[in-house]
Each structure stands twice: as structure tokens, then as C-alpha cells.
Structure 1
Amino acid sequence: MKFVILACLAAVAVAAPRPQDEIAEVLRDERQDAGDGNFNYAFETSNGIVVSAVGTPGAEGQSNIEGSFSFVLPDGVNAEVRYIADENGYRPESELLPTPYPLPDHAIRQIAIAEQQRAEGITFE
């Protein structure tokens, strides 16, 4: 769900109206691939898009990637997302992403009781 929201935010940022004569130029484009699963890349454009990532081979055959991307929102604010993608999935971090409301005290107490019961071997059918 968070990825969908993030993708929508990126699409809105990219689709924002811009003057016809403004064409983004690539300011930096660095790529390295060792061929063994280790790689990194970074690029930056004149319209404020910055992307970087480092990849390493994962223990379960996947690529582990740690990276970030940022872009300028229509109101001029710089939006940044940092992420890790590995055997535990894709985990983005950003102030842009919504967070769940804190659990109320009674819910926290119920969770603690359930954990205690589980530890004691109590089960319910």
C-alpha cells in the first residue's frame, strides 16, 4: 500500500505542469556493475531528481538494494525516500509516507495479555 502511495506521489511530481521550454538535463550519471551481483548507480538531473542505489547479492539468491530517490514537489519542497529491499521485502522510509495511528492503551494491554497467554501455552479454538 505504501509503495502504491509513493508511486502515485512520484507520478504526480513527474506529471506536474512545467514550461514547454524546460527540458531536464542529466547532470550526473554514474554506474558500476561488477557482474557478480554487486552494483551501484547514481544520477541527478537539472530538474531536481536525484537517485542512488547500492546492490549486493542476497543469501537467498535475490539482490539486496539500499538506496534513495528525491524530487522537487510542485510547491518547491524536496521529497526524499530512502529504502532497503532484501529478503525481508521493500521497506521505504520517508516523511511523505503515511503512518498508522498509535494504538490505544486498551489495545496495547490486550496484546500484552495475548503474548503472555501464548508464552504459557494457552490456545483458543
Structure 2
Amino acid sequence: MKCILVFGLLSIGMCLSAPAAPEAEIVSLASEISADGFNYNFETSDGSKQEQHGKLKNLGPEEDVLQVAGSFSYQGDDGKTYSVTYTANENGYQPQGEHLPHL
């Protein structure tokens, strides 16, 4: 929401806002956390989805790193569905998707 405050002889406050999009509701949700790692997934009523799992990887004495992999998808303003898969580990975050540039 944008708010504009104009000062002059009269102080006028106006708030301009775009029409609110309907709020999405969660239609499914699952999660599990254990000593070995975690995983979760959910889906919303607007078709958005996300899933992720992770675990600790031992790189050496006193050196652990969290390895995570997952995916998400959503419908863009243009009506297309965008999907991304990713991993994140000692090599950083590595997303992949048809709409993302290839490096």
C-alpha cells in the first residue's frame, strides 16, 4: 500500500492501494524433523508448491555442513507456472529452472 501525505494549506492524507489478491490457503502440509535431518512439503490453494529436505554432512573433524535439496513452483502474473529445483551445500546455492539463466 502506498501512502502519500501532502502538506499545504490543508493537510491531506491519501492512501492508494492495488486490489488485494485473494489469500491462498494451505491445502496440504507435512513436515518431519529428526536427528538425521528434516523434510517438509506443502501446497496452497493457488497451486503453489514447495518441498525440501536436508541433512548434516560431515566434511571432517569438527566440520559439518547442512545439505539441502528441494523444489518450488508457482503461477506467475503472466499465467505461466514457474518451477525451480535447487541444492544448497558446501558449494553454495544452485537453483535450476527453465526460466533461469544458465551459468
What is the one-letter code of the residue matched to 1:52?
E
Which structure is higher in helix share? 1
1:1-40 correspondence to structure 2 within 5 Å: 20=20, 22-34=22-34, 36-40=35-39
User: TM-score if structure 1 supplies the norm length?
Assistant: 0.60
On the 8 A contact 1:62/1:87 being kept in 2, the answer is yes
Q: Which runs of 5+ in 2 are unaligned?
A: 1-17
Q: Which residue of 1 aligns with 2:83?
A: 80
Larger strand share, 1 or 2: 2
Alpha-carbon displacement from aligned partner over 1:37-95 (angstroms, at most 9, x marks no partner) = 41100011111210001111112312101100110011211100000111111111111
The number of residues matched between the two structures is 82
TM alignment of 1:49-60, pairs within 5 A: 49-60=48-59
2:96 to 93, 96, 99: 93
1:69 pairs with 2:68 = no
Please state how far the C-alpha of 1:99 moved relative to its aligned partner: 2.6
Provide the secondary structure at the position in 2 that maps to 1:48.
coil
What is the alpha-carbon distance in structure 1 between the residues aligned to residue 20 and residue 89 of structure 2? 40
- Superposed CA RMSD: 1.7
Runs of 4 or more consecutive aligned structure 1 residues displaced over 6 Å after TM superposition? none
